[in-house]
Structure 1
Amino acid sequence: MVIANTGKADSSLVVVLHRKFDDSAVVKDRPRYLTRMDSTGSFYFENIQPGRYAVYAMKDEGGSHKYLSKGQLFAFADSPVVITENTSPLTLYAYAEETGTRPKTTTTQTPAQPAGRKTAREREKDRRLQFQTNATNGVFDVLDTFRITFATGMKVFDSTQLRFTDENFKDIDPRRYRYVRDTTNKIFAMFYNWPTDTKFNLIIPKTFGQDSAGRRLLKDDTVTWRTKKDIDYGEIRIRIPNLNMSQRPVLQMVVGDNVKYSFPFNNRREVRMILFPPGEYELRVLYDTNGNLRWDTGNFFGKKLQPERVIPIRRKLTVKANWDNDIDISL
């Protein structure tokens, strides 16, 4: 048993066999046979009647041995398995479908103070449009996307009034960058091909916009930052000569449980990045069959679609700043 989006074995699921082959059996009926994984994620059935069985695996919620929700880890065999004295081994790839629902949030309202008790500074803050950027302490990572984040959603955002300049306050050609807002109208991303070790300014006039409550800037503002230097990054070159290129392999670089970066392999079966942030990364190879650079879940009902496969790489990569990090790997 393998968890499809990590490529790691799992020992917490149960595997069930059904005599009925219609899709609803795994939802409505209790299985004919059941077994649990061992510590390596392997499973075995013993003393079962020979014949054809539908094979499923799942996180056994509530001891029902049924597939109850799309958020439940689940796996299925592509076709019925014929059980004989020498049945071939079977690998199942478990996934949880994305439900698209969001958890409910609870908000707590704080009783407002009487207006007369607020200081002049507090009253000014109430009517001032507030924002921040992701240039931390005036330093920006060129591998990131520059973002302006407002405390509340913007009703008006006139990007033509913003001046994006070099360190000498010379305007940068607007054809070289663009702004994109998110669905909340709070975050505005600026896409630009950032050079290293370069100073920039963003001049924001007070008339450029207002939020949904009518708040504006009280005066013109200027944000200044410098991009990181070349020596703040490492160079990586990762080669995997025995890749199956027909399955569109993608290198995933993982921090914790999150895929931090994804890069498709070129025809030389390598990924090379001249500027890459230092750190320790787990490595995986995603076989990206639909070419969207991210892992896609399976779909049992209707499509009978297996999840995309991920192959974990045992060695970790420690990227050092100002260093060529060059490795060869064999799957």
Structure 2
Amino acid sequence: MSKFRLYLFTCLLILCVTCFSNCAKRGFISGGPMDTLPPVVLKSYPENFSINFDKDEIKIDFDEFIKLKNINQNLIVSPPLKNNPEISPMGSPKKTMTIKLKDTLHPNTTYSFNFGDAIIDNNEGNVLPQFKYIFSTGSYIDSLKLEGTIQSAHKLKTDNFVNVMLYDAKVFTDSTVYKEKPLYITNTLDSLTTFSIENIKAGTYYLVGLKQKTNNYLFNPEQDKIAFIQDTITIPTDQKYNLVLFKSEEQFKAKRPAQLAENKWYLPYVGNKDGVQVKVTKNDSLIKSVYTPLEAKDSLQLWFPKIVADSLHITVSKDDYLETFTVRPRAKMKEVDTLRVTAKNNAIDFKESFALKTTTPIARVDKDLIQLINKDSLPVSFEIQEVLAEQKVELLFDKAQEELYSIRLLPNALVDLFGKGNDTLNYALKTTKHSDYGNLNLNLSSVKRYPIIVDLIDEQEKVYFTQIIHAPQTIVFDLLPPRKYYVRVIYDDNQNGKWDTGYYWDKRQPEETFYSKEPIDVRANWDINQDLDLN
């Protein structure tokens, strides 16, 4: 074999061996370890913390391509600008972020651009957290700050993304929060209950917090929650302030009613509805009507029979408020709401009432047409309690252990506002043993004043049990269904048996509320002695 042929054969053999070897070892190209580092700022033009700033454009260079995420939600400019700056990149990623200012800046003022979590790298989405670009139009950077905490009134979990603001006390009036933007602003961001306003000038200020649907920094009482400190704050200070957010109880005012069905209208309102009177008339003749609250909405359900008329008058009054709406009933509407009754079947707790929920308001309950018997077919004594506001009729009776109860409503036991009665209704209930339930003995310390309202609630703040306490004592909650309960304590300062919110215009704070930090785990057949310090 010639040398050339031998050389060619050797090359082919090596090539085949290599190919077969590679085929036997399947794998993937490795790109190295995942990038977990946030973008790094290389240079700013003008430089960060510049003084005597007089530019209308800022450029910030990064070591890699970056994107801006939720910039409108994350970016906080303090003091706020009248016109939002133009910021890029908004589409394709770039290594340079450009900020074009559209406002005339105030003299001798320190400005802070806090980008929150808006700046992320292009590849892995790593966040550059809380990057700030700061400059002053004067000869120095203001460096004072104010710190504090924030909580939501009558709410287990604190609201997030709360704007915390300072106003110049020299020009502040009660209407300022409605009309003018603050001097300084920060945001609590997500899951934070602390705040820090930085780069403040020495002076006297008013401190306000707003939880807003639109971040315009102006208080809209119909949509926003507000928190405020009554007195002025002098900067510098080492004191930390606590802000309590609440939905301000504005003066009652009704809005134009809207027809939902032949016999039902919605009546929106703002403020506190307690004590409101509603009257429906046709040609000065009074039409029988009732209203019930619409759950979780600032609206009333106004019920009255179908009326054929060119116009009706709905008059709403409360204290000094009086307003009459002229409405035109529609000729064709959806089917009239009719009486339907729903109730719990099967198991019932010892402390639970048997509730009949109705779709229309009940005008009459005939107790003689309601039968309640036990498993021995013996009648059980009961009382009737009507809860018009919840469109509910309750049967109250003592429950024995391991008992079976049968409840029958004969026709027309319940008759609604429109004269419609129920058909025959049957329900079956049973109880278990006391040992299937737990007992809680609650000892409170550091109670500031009495009376207090003590609620047992779940994480969604559903109230299971409540007591009003007028003096120091061990608070006993017995026969509790096993679950985890939070304790809520309300200082009932006006002694009306419920929590009351505040009113900003009168500088009235909401009634103080305390929540236990951890839930209490109530277990079956357990007696729990729990100490709770309200400090």
**By the TM > 0.5 criterion, same fold?**
yes
Residues 221 and 56 of structure 1: CA distance in aligned 2, closer, same or farther (over 3 Å): closer
Q: 1:67 to 1:237 in 2, by over 3 A?
A: same
The counterpart of 1:77, out of the listed 215, 229, 234, is 229
- The Cα shift of 1:192 comes to 3.3
Gaps of 5+ in 2: 1-149, 250-269, 272-297, 302-331
Rate the CA distance shift 1:215–1:192 in 2: closer, same or farther, 3 A: closer
After TM superposition, list the pairs within 5 Å mapping 1:62-211 onto structure 2.
62-83=214-235, 85-86=236-237, 88-97=239-248, 99=270, 101-102=298-299, 131-134=341-344, 136-137=345-346, 139-150=347-358, 154=362, 157-172=365-380, 177-183=383-389, 187-206=392-411, 208-210=413-415
Contact 1:159 1:179 in 2 (8 A): no
Instruction: String of CA shifts for 1:134-176, please: whole Å, max 9, x gaps.
Output: 2x32x32222221123455556542233234454444455xx6
**Is 244-253 or 86-95 further displaced after alignment?**
244-253
Match of 2:438 among 229, 234, 245: 234
Give the fraction of aligned pairs with identical amino acids, expressed as a percent: 21
User: 3-state SS of the aligned residue for 1:15?
Assistant: strand
Deviation, structure 1 residue 29: 0.9
Task: Report the secondary structure of 2:198's partner residue.
Answer: coil
1:75 and 1:158, CA in 2 relative to 1: closer, same or farther beyond 3 A?
Answer: same
- Residue 24 (structure 1) aligned with residue 179 (structure 2): no
1:177-205 Cα offsets, whole Å, 9 max, x none, are 22315257x53212334444444443433
Query: Does structure 1 residue 253 correspond to structure 2 residue 404?
Result: no
**C-alpha spacing 1:6/1:50, structure 2 compared with 1 (3 Å):** same
**Counterpart of 1:147 in 2: which secondary structure?**
strand
Counterparts in 2 of 1:86 and 1:226: CA distance versus 1, 3 Å:
closer
SS in 2 for 1:16: strand
TM-score by length of 1: 0.76
Q: What is the distance in 1 between the residues matched to 2:198 and 2:432?
A: 61
My pick for the range that moved more, 282-291 or 146-155, is 146-155
CA contact (8 A) 1:131 1:150 kept: yes
The equivalences for 1:210-221 within 5 A come to 210=415, 212=418, 214=420, 216-217=422-423
Q: Provide closer, same or farther for how the CA distance between residues 23 and 320 of structure 1 changes in structure 2, counting only shifts above 3 A.
A: same
Number of residue pairs matched? 302
Q: Matched residue of 1:63: which SS?
A: coil
Contact 1:210–1:216 (Cα < 8 Å) also in 2 = yes
Work out which of the residue numbers 484, 491, 504 in structure 2 matches 1:287: 491
Aligned: 1:317 with 2:466 = no
Provide the aligned C-alpha RMSD in A.
3.4
Q: Give deviations 1:71-126, integer Å, cap 9, x for gaps.
A: 3121011122223x33532211111236462399xxxx9x99xxxxxxxxxxxxxx
* Matched-pair contact (CA < 8 Å) for 2:228–2:244: yes
- Partners of 2:413 and 2:454 in 1: CA distance: 42
Contact 1:132 1:148 in 2 (8 A): yes
CA contact (8 A) 1:7 1:310 kept: no
Indicate the larger mover: 21-30 or 142-151.
142-151
Q: Is the 8 A contact 2:156 2:461 kept in 1?
A: no
Asked whether the 8 Å contact 2:407–2:426 carries over to 1, the reply is yes
Secondary structure of 1:258's counterpart equals coil
Relative to structure 1, the CA distance from residue 221 to residue 169 in structure 2 (aligned partners, 3 Å threshold; closer, same or farther) is farther
| Amino acid in structure 2 at the alignment position of 1:54 | Y
Larger strand percent: 2
SS in 1 for 2:205: strand
Which SS does the other structure have where 1:307 is aligned? coil
Measured at CA, do residues 82 and 269 of structure 1 come closer, stay the same or move farther in structure 2, by a change above 3 Å? farther
Equivalents in 1 of 2:339, 2:179: separation in Å?
A: 56
- Letter matched to residue 299 of structure 2: R
Say if 2:196 is the partner of 1:44: yes
The answer on whether the counterparts of 1:6 and 1:311 sit within 8 Å (CA) in structure 2 is: no
- Structure with bigger gyration radius: 2
What's the counterpart of residue 155 of structure 2? 6
Query: What is the SS of the residue equivalent to 1:26?
Result: helix
SS of residue in 2 equivalent to 1:231: helix
The answer to whether the 8 Å contact 1:53/1:82 transfers is yes
Q: In the alignment, which of 438, 442, 446 is matched to residue 243 of structure 1?
A: 446
Task: For residue 67 of structure 1, report the CA deviation from its aligned partner.
Answer: 0.6
Q: Distance in 2 between matches of 1:57 and 1:252?
A: 28
- Residue 488 of structure 2 aligns to a residue in which SS? strand
**Alpha-carbon displacement from aligned partner over 1:249-301 (angstroms, at most 9, x marks no partner):** 43332212214233345644432122111101233333332334543211111
Question: Does the 8 Å contact 1:263/1:293 carry over to 2?
Answer: no
Contact 1:233 1:275 in 2 (8 A): yes
Question: What one-letter code is carried by the residue in structure 1 that aligns with 2:369?
Answer: Q
Question: 1:216 Cα deviation (Å)?
Answer: 4.9
Residues 97 and 297 in structure 1, CA contact (< 8 A), matched pair in contact too: yes
Q: Gaps spanning 5+ residues in structure 1: where?
A: 113-127
Name the CA shift for 1:73/1:129 in 2 (closer, same or farther; >3 Å). Answer: closer
| CA distance in 1: counterparts of 2:459 and 2:421, whole angstroms | 40
